[in-house]
Structure 1
Amino acid sequence: MLPGGAPMPSFEGATRWLHGEPTPAALEGGPVVVQFWAVSCSLCKDDLPTLRAWKDRYGPRGVRFVSVHMPRQESDTRVDRVEAVVTESGMDEPVAIDNAHAEAFGIALGRRGAR
């Protein structure tokens, strides 16, 4: 939940999308799980199987999933590394590659993970 019941920020302007950019209409009318992660964040990658299980369980019930890769260091900006993790983990939901969207959601990813 966003603080104070705030509306979900727009995903417009992501640097790049994998698996297509979701339209605002596609994200309206029900719950949306937004996952923030980085290639260099081992804790984030450890959570990927749990998110896959949630998607398998709740996706058929109308829950939508969007992933936001938020680079925390220069090596995280390599799209080929992001694509490799997306493929290896079986992610098939829209994946935004951009740090600005994490900031719009009030997420900061430091050396110790998301805060």
Structure 2
Amino acid sequence: MGKIQIKRIYAPLAPDDGCRVLVDRLWPRGVSRQAAALDLWLKDIAPSPDLRGWFAHDPARFDAFRQKYRDELTHNTEVVGQLLALAKRQDITLLYAARDPVVNHAAVLAEFLAGVR
């Protein structure tokens, strides 16, 4: 079983990144596809547009967002299964564009994946 870590897409590429997976629905501003050095872009694992808009990275809404996003992930079995299959074979880095390293969907996703392994 590989490790799962999260990292901003703007951070430099590192040897311990393993499989680099962008988990944002939208392409991050100012990052070229070459610089991103992605192995996979899983748009469908990101929060729904409605949930993303409601959350708006408001720390006061993070606890409610966490629960709502976990509910979405529970029903998104195909894409979650794809990510879990990757994590069983190798280390993966979930890449996100949000500024806050704690209050973001990638942190919730990593926590969710760790719980279903």
Q: TM-score, with normalisation over the residues of structure 1?
A: 0.32
Q: TM-score, with normalisation over the residues of structure 2?
A: 0.32
Higher helix share: 2
Q: Work out which structure has the larger RCO, using CA pairs closer than 8 Å and 6 or more positions apart in sequence.
A: 2
